[in-house]
Amino acid sequence: MVTQSAWYTGLHVMRRPLANSFLSFLLTLSGLDVSWSANKVLIVRMVVGELTVRFFGVQPDLAVQVPWASNAPKQNLREFAEFLAAGIPGAVVRETPKVWNVDLPPERTVSLASMLNRPDEVKKAIQVLHARLSRPIFAIK
Protein backbone atom coordinates (compact mmCIF):
# COMPACT_ATOMS: atom_id res chain seq x y z
CA MET A 1 0.00 0.00 0.00
CA VAL A 2 1.45 3.35 -1.02
CA THR A 3 0.61 5.14 2.23
CA GLN A 4 2.76 2.68 4.17
CA SER A 5 5.80 2.95 1.91
CA ALA A 6 9.13 4.40 2.91
CA TRP A 7 8.52 7.11 0.32
CA TYR A 8 5.26 8.29 1.83
CA THR A 9 6.18 7.95 5.49
CA GLY A 10 9.49 9.69 4.81
CA LEU A 11 7.75 12.88 3.74
CA HIS A 12 7.63 15.77 6.15
CA VAL A 13 4.12 16.28 7.55
CA MET A 14 3.71 19.57 5.67
CA ARG A 15 4.34 17.81 2.37
CA ARG A 16 1.67 15.14 2.74
CA PRO A 17 -1.06 17.29 1.16
CA LEU A 18 1.15 17.63 -1.92
CA ALA A 19 1.77 13.88 -2.03
CA ASN A 20 -1.96 13.24 -1.65
CA SER A 21 -2.67 15.65 -4.51
CA PHE A 22 -0.18 13.81 -6.72
CA LEU A 23 -1.68 10.41 -5.95
CA SER A 24 -5.15 11.80 -6.68
CA PHE A 25 -3.83 13.20 -9.96
CA LEU A 26 -2.45 9.77 -10.88
CA LEU A 27 -5.86 8.23 -10.29
CA THR A 28 -7.25 10.44 -13.06
CA LEU A 29 -4.85 8.67 -15.46
CA SER A 30 -6.12 5.15 -14.82
CA GLY A 31 -7.39 4.81 -18.41
CA LEU A 32 -3.90 5.40 -19.83
CA ASP A 33 -2.14 2.26 -18.55
CA VAL A 34 -0.52 4.33 -15.79
CA SER A 35 0.40 2.72 -12.49
CA TRP A 36 2.83 3.40 -9.68
CA SER A 37 4.75 1.78 -6.90
CA ALA A 38 6.63 3.26 -4.01
CA ASN A 39 9.40 2.27 -1.72
CA LYS A 40 12.31 4.70 -1.45
CA VAL A 41 11.19 6.40 -4.68
CA LEU A 42 7.67 6.66 -6.06
CA ILE A 43 7.88 5.34 -9.63
CA VAL A 44 5.13 6.21 -12.11
CA ARG A 45 5.11 3.97 -15.16
CA MET A 46 3.16 3.32 -18.30
CA VAL A 47 3.07 -0.04 -20.05
CA VAL A 48 1.83 -0.22 -23.62
CA GLY A 49 2.38 -3.52 -25.36
CA GLU A 50 5.98 -4.56 -24.75
CA LEU A 51 7.16 -1.08 -23.86
CA THR A 52 7.55 0.21 -20.32
CA VAL A 53 8.31 3.82 -19.54
CA ARG A 54 8.98 4.80 -15.96
CA PHE A 55 8.41 8.42 -16.72
CA PHE A 56 8.43 9.96 -13.24
CA GLY A 57 10.66 9.05 -10.33
CA VAL A 58 9.58 11.11 -7.31
CA GLN A 59 12.13 11.32 -4.51
CA PRO A 60 11.15 11.81 -0.84
CA ASP A 61 12.24 15.47 -1.13
CA LEU A 62 9.64 15.73 -3.96
CA ALA A 63 12.20 16.27 -6.70
CA VAL A 64 11.00 14.57 -9.90
CA GLN A 65 13.36 12.84 -12.32
CA VAL A 66 11.90 12.74 -15.84
CA PRO A 67 12.13 10.07 -17.12
CA TRP A 68 13.21 7.60 -14.46
CA ALA A 69 13.89 4.74 -16.88
CA SER A 70 12.61 3.48 -20.20
CA ASN A 71 12.90 0.62 -22.64
CA ALA A 72 10.92 2.62 -25.20
CA PRO A 73 12.75 3.96 -28.24
CA LYS A 74 14.17 7.43 -27.63
CA GLN A 75 11.99 9.07 -30.29
CA ASN A 76 8.88 8.05 -28.32
CA LEU A 77 9.95 10.31 -25.46
CA ARG A 78 10.62 13.50 -27.41
CA GLU A 79 7.01 14.73 -27.74
CA PHE A 80 6.29 13.81 -24.12
CA ALA A 81 9.33 15.74 -22.92
CA GLU A 82 8.47 18.77 -25.04
CA PHE A 83 4.84 18.89 -23.87
CA LEU A 84 5.85 18.42 -20.24
CA ALA A 85 8.56 21.10 -20.40
CA ALA A 86 6.13 23.53 -22.06
CA GLY A 87 3.78 23.11 -19.08
CA ILE A 88 6.36 23.71 -16.34
CA PRO A 89 7.75 27.26 -16.12
CA GLY A 90 11.50 27.31 -16.70
CA ALA A 91 11.74 23.63 -17.65
CA VAL A 92 13.93 22.59 -20.54
CA VAL A 93 14.29 19.44 -22.61
CA ARG A 94 17.76 17.96 -22.64
CA GLU A 95 18.80 15.18 -25.00
CA THR A 96 21.03 12.36 -23.77
CA PRO A 97 22.22 9.35 -25.78
CA LYS A 98 19.26 7.22 -24.57
CA VAL A 99 16.40 9.54 -23.55
CA TRP A 100 15.00 13.07 -23.51
CA ASN A 101 15.14 14.53 -19.98
CA VAL A 102 13.10 17.36 -18.54
CA ASP A 103 14.77 19.49 -15.91
CA LEU A 104 15.29 23.02 -14.68
CA PRO A 105 18.61 24.69 -15.37
CA PRO A 106 21.09 25.00 -13.90
CA GLU A 107 21.28 21.43 -12.57
CA ARG A 108 17.93 21.42 -10.79
CA THR A 109 15.26 18.80 -11.01
CA VAL A 110 11.59 19.50 -11.58
CA SER A 111 9.63 19.70 -8.33
CA LEU A 112 6.37 17.92 -7.69
CA ALA A 113 4.78 21.26 -6.78
CA SER A 114 5.71 22.77 -10.15
CA MET A 115 4.05 19.83 -11.91
CA LEU A 116 0.90 19.98 -9.82
CA ASN A 117 0.57 23.70 -10.53
CA ARG A 118 -0.07 22.71 -14.16
CA PRO A 119 -2.00 19.40 -13.96
CA ASP A 120 -3.75 19.85 -17.32
CA GLU A 121 -0.44 20.31 -19.13
CA VAL A 122 1.13 17.34 -17.33
CA LYS A 123 -1.89 15.18 -18.15
CA LYS A 124 -1.69 16.25 -21.81
CA ALA A 125 1.99 15.27 -21.91
CA ILE A 126 1.13 11.83 -20.51
CA GLN A 127 -1.68 11.46 -23.06
CA VAL A 128 0.79 12.34 -25.82
CA LEU A 129 3.19 9.69 -24.51
CA HIS A 130 0.42 7.09 -24.41
CA ALA A 131 -0.61 7.90 -27.98
CA ARG A 132 3.01 7.74 -29.14
CA LEU A 133 3.60 4.37 -27.47
CA SER A 134 0.41 3.04 -29.04
CA ARG A 135 1.54 3.87 -32.59
CA PRO A 136 3.88 1.49 -34.34
CA ILE A 137 7.34 2.79 -35.12
CA PHE A 138 8.49 2.21 -38.68
CA ALA A 139 12.22 2.17 -39.21
CA ILE A 140 13.50 4.08 -42.23
CA LYS A 141 16.22 2.19 -44.04
Amino acid at 96: T
pTM of the model: 0.84
Rounded Cα–Cα distance for residues 23 and 30 (Å): 11
Kindly report each contact of residues 100-104 with a partner whose C-beta sits within 8 Å and lies 24 or more positions away, as own/partner: 100/67, 100/74, 101/66, 101/67, 102/66, 103/66
Distances in Å between the Cα of 132 and the Cα atoms of 65, 76, 121 are 20, 6, 16
| 73 within some domain | yes
State the total domains in the chain.
1
| pLDDT score recorded for residue 1 | 41
Q: pLDDT by residue for the chain (141 residues), tens digit each? A: 444 567 777 666 557 788 889 989 999 998 898 999 888 889 999 988 888 899 999 988 888 999 998 888 888 889 999 999 999 989 999 998 888 999 988 878 899 999 999 999 999 999 999 998 887 654 444
Q: Which domain holds residue 21?
A: 2-134
Q: Is residue 104 part of a domain?
A: yes
Distances (CA, A) of 22 to 16, 29, 123: 10, 11, 12
| Assigned domain for 127 exists | yes
Predicted pLDDT at 139: 41
In a domain? residue 141: no
Residue 139 maps to a domain: no
Residue 72 lies in a domain: yes
